[in-house]
Structure 1
Amino acid sequence: MFSYRHAFHAGNHADVLKHSVLIATLQHLLQKDAALTVLDTHAGAGLYRLDGDYAATSGEAADGIQRLVSPAAPTTLAPALQDYVDMVRAFNQGPTTRVYPGSPFIAQRLLRAQDRLKLFELHPTDARALAGNIAQLEAGRQVAVLTEDGFEGIRKFLPPPARRALVLCDPSYEIKSDYGRVQDMLQDGLKRFATGVCAVWYPLIARPEAHDLPRRLKTLAQKAGKPWLHATLTVKGGKAAPAAGADRQRRPGLPASGMFLVNPPYTLEPALREALPQMAELLAQDRHAAWSLEGGGS
């Protein structure tokens, strides 16, 4: 159950997509003065060393963030992609990128004094690392680390006091039931707090559940009468068609991933329409690199 460690995958192409979307979403939500609550259901360790044993073993950051900060990277990036690169650089000194901020540290860097950040992490090692990393911030009551099941734990915070919230959900999906739990979480979240923003990351792999998930989330949003946005980034060819009973694909071979948002900021779609083509071009690992973006609702 506790085999997945994001340290092996920190800074890969999926993180580029996920964290670009996170930053662009938060930038919009934080334009209003009212307090915002951010709920991170699978927070991980929070900070990662790209020159450490885990990241070096997989080398995934080389085809992710490292391509965007290398001297060969374009000097002009789409604003959403540039904001992401600037965020990562803010955690590093000098030209070398050794530290990668996970979603907890990206969110905390953007939040204001009146905002709150709830971080859920069940992996015992990552939970200890997360608590230690957050303690260095001396953020006080602004950030809470909870060693709980994030799928269930967010319930007690919805709706939040100021009735403004962003839920970020990005489980490992190593357990097949995670796909169903994501759907159940979104359905319950919309009942508890219909106007909250929910952002779900998922891997696009040769597993039926992975291909069904965005369709199921789209149906949920449509039935609830809520706007939605679905972005995907493919960096290389893979088994695009799901096969019944297919074994899970190892994360180092991840060919693509997606972000599905309910109640997305209206500014996000145009930002991604500019950034996604550049992501696909710069992070391409073969001729199959591609992107997609669709949305609907009011």
Structure 2
Amino acid sequence: MNYRHEFHAGNFADVLKHVFLTRILLYLQRKDKPFRYIDTHAGAGLYDLDGPEAARSNEARDGIGRLLDAPDLGAAAELLEPYLAAVRATGAPNLYPGSPVIAQKFLRACDKAIFCEMLPEAAKGLRRSLGRDYRVKTVEIDGYQGLKAFTPPPERRGMALIDPPYERRDEYERIFDTLGAALDRWAGGIFMIWQPVKEPEVVESFCRAVALAAPGALRIDFQAETPAPGKPLSRTGLVIVNPPYVLEEEAQIILPALTRILARGPGAEFSLEHLGGEKVPSS
């Protein structure tokens, strides 16, 4: 599939991805030691939700729009607030931040970030979105090559987001091969892989492979409504290798709230699973 982010910025899949990105970055802040964030497919940084692409799909309305307007976030309010504050700070509801702009807001003076973006126009837009910041660097490089080139980072602590557009049939093979090579060099790194679930059998095959390569990885699956032909993307997922120990507990609080707020129809649900282990009971 081709997942051009301009059309989907701020949708339910972005909300899921960026909520958990925020939670991991906050976890990394708990220690005084510096960390590094690596983004393999960084994009342009900021997305105009009133622009022609976003307006055409209007997916942000059922994503970040609902979350910002929700009268009650319940038990998840405290865990969601750092993400929502980062979104508001970028000019919501008219603008939505991509993962680099969100990550930038959680870097301390000692932390660093590398953003890989192969498309020159997107890289130019990203540099403009990030401004002059000594902590961050945008590199025009294929993200898979970048992850290999930039691991292990000097800080030895940190995370990488692998978030490709899924334009190629061999995308999952490239993710798996790159992840394996990166883990060989940076065994303690946190790796978060985002997936648009259009072909469930392909996703299941990938997750089985990750279960063998990185037992204990946390899989989060989220569905906004029952998938059906002709409908927009309704199911998405994350695979988190070396997840922070607090993340499962936080997910148990966050996911019910997101399911309630972002449900588009019957079939809205979530699941948690330790790959190579048992499913985590939902609550």
- TM-score normalised according to structure 1 size: 0.87
Which stretches in structure 1 are left out of the alignment for 5+ residues? 240-248
Backbone CA RMSD of aligned residues: 2.0
Provide, for residues 170-213 of structure 1, a one-character-per-residue CA deviation record: whole Å limited to 9, x for no partner.
Answer: 11112111111111111111101111110000111135323322
Does 2:128 align with 1:132?
yes
After superposition, give the CA deviation of every residue in 1:200-248 in whole Å (9 maximum; x if it has no partner).
00111135323322222222112xxxx3211111001115xxxxxxxxx
Q: For structure 2, which runs of at least 5 residues remain unmatched after alignment?
A: 278-283
Structural mapping, 1:232-251, within 5 Å: 232-238=221-227
What TM-score comes out, normalization by structure 2 length? 0.91
1:101 alignment partner in structure 2: 97
Tell me which moved more, 115-124 or 3-12: 3-12
Q: Which moved more, 1:253-262 or 1:122-131?
A: 122-131
**1:246 is matched with which residue?**
none
Q: Give how far 1:75 is off.
A: 5.2
| Count of residues in correspondence between the two structures | 276
Does the CA contact (< 8 Å) of 2:75 and 2:253 recur in 1? no
Deviation at 1:77? Answer: 5.4
Matches within 5 A, 1:1-298: 4-70=3-69, 72-74=70-72, 76=74, 78=76, 79-92=78-91, 97-134=93-130, 136=131, 138-140=132-134, 142-206=135-199, 208-222=201-215, 227-238=216-227, 253-295=232-274
Kindly indicate whether the alpha-carbon contact (under 8 Å) linking 1:234 and 1:289 is maintained by their aligned counterparts in 2: yes
Q: Aligned in 2, Cα 1:201/1:4: closer, same or farther, shift over 3 Å?
A: closer
* Paired letter, 1:260: V
Equivalent residue letter for 1:192 = R
Kindly provide the amino acid, as one letter, of the partner of residue 133 in structure 2: A
Letter in 2 for 1:41: T
Q: Which moved more, 1:123-132 or 1:265-274?
A: 123-132
Q: Separation in 1 of the partners of 2:6 and 2:13?
A: 13
The answer to whether the 8 A contact 2:3-2:166 is kept is no
The 1:75/1:151 distance shift into structure 2, 3 A limit, reads closer
Offset, 1:82 = 2.8
Aligned-residue offset at 1:296:
5.8
